[in-house]
Amino acid sequence: MMLTIPELLSREEVRDLRSLIDPGPWVDGNETSGHQSRLAKKNRQLQEGSDTARKASAIVAGALNRSPLFISAALPLKVFPPLFNRYEGGETFGAHVDNAIRRLGGTDFVIRSDLSCTVFLEEPDEYDGGALVVEDLFGEHRVKLPAGHAVLYPASSVHRVEPVTRGARIASFFWLQSMVRSDAEREELFRLDRAVQDLTARHGGGDATVIALTALYHNLLRRWADS
């Protein structure tokens, strides 16, 4: 399942984040690449572990924790601390699949990467190219969202970033391990949760159908979730 999360970050948060990260330090993006990605990747990345990276990561993580849509869709168990990258001057990231296991250097933090997320931090008319292209059985999906919007998609998918030929594409990106390993089961729970929320808004939480569907949601989550 691919999902757009509108306005994950407010305009003010994007502005504050950009003022923090724009000066850098920016380093070769291959510092965090696996073998296959290293062959396809040409960009720069905010130096992982720097004070700037830690402060910026905390801003994005805080926004994730405040987003009911993100939590409903991702059912996050563990989130890799958000990273930041920039593409300009023809930089690109060719077709690749994200590593199944991600380790945070210098710690014992390890996740299974079930989902990938990109948070756009530059307006789409400020740069040419730079679309995130995600492949699935229905073809290719091109994503280029307004600043502050995010896209969530399966980490198992083949995806790429098209060359940036004007301006700079700046974004946050990260991976997460969901409580529900299966993308299909996670999507079913998300659709059920949205339906429950819609019925609750129309009929109230005490409605018998709402109660029955809420029970179904939690019983399915109990069956499918890891902890």
* 12-33 burial code (b ≥16 CB/10 A, e <16): ebbeebeebbeeeebeebbebb
In single-letter form, the type of residue at position 93 comes to F
SS3 of 209, please?
A: helix
Q: Count the helix, strand and coil residues of the chain and give each as a percent rounded to the nearest 5.
A: 35, 30, 30
Domains and CATH numbers, the chain: 3-178 (2.60.120.620), 183-224 (4.10.860)
User: Hey, what amino acid is at 209?
Assistant: T
| Four-CA torsion 36, 39, 42, 46, nearest 10 degrees | 40
What are the E-state strand segments in 12-121?
26-28, 41-42, 44-46, 76-79, 83-88, 92-96, 101-103, 110-112, 115-120
Of 221, 225, 153, 155, which Cα lies nearest the Cα of 189?
221
Q: Is 61 exposed, middle or buried (0-12, 13-18, 19+ CB in 10 A)?
A: middle
CB 171 within 8 A of CB 120: yes
Angle at 93 between CA 149 and CA 86, to 5 degrees: 50
pTM: 0.92
Per-residue pLDDT of the chain (227 residues; tens, 9 = 90+): 999 999 999 999 999 999 999 999 999 977 655 555 556 789 999 999 899 999 999 999 999 999 999 999 999 999 999 999 999 999 999 999 999 999 998 899 999 999 999 999 999 999 999 999 999 988 999 999 999 999 999 999 999 999 999 999 999 999 999 999 999 999 999 999 999 999 999 999 899 999 999 999 999 999 999 87
197: tokens are: 């929320």
**Strands 101-103 vs 159-161: parallel, antiparallel or unpaired:** unpaired
- Residue bearing tokens 């691919």: 2
What is the 8-class DSSP label of residue 205? T
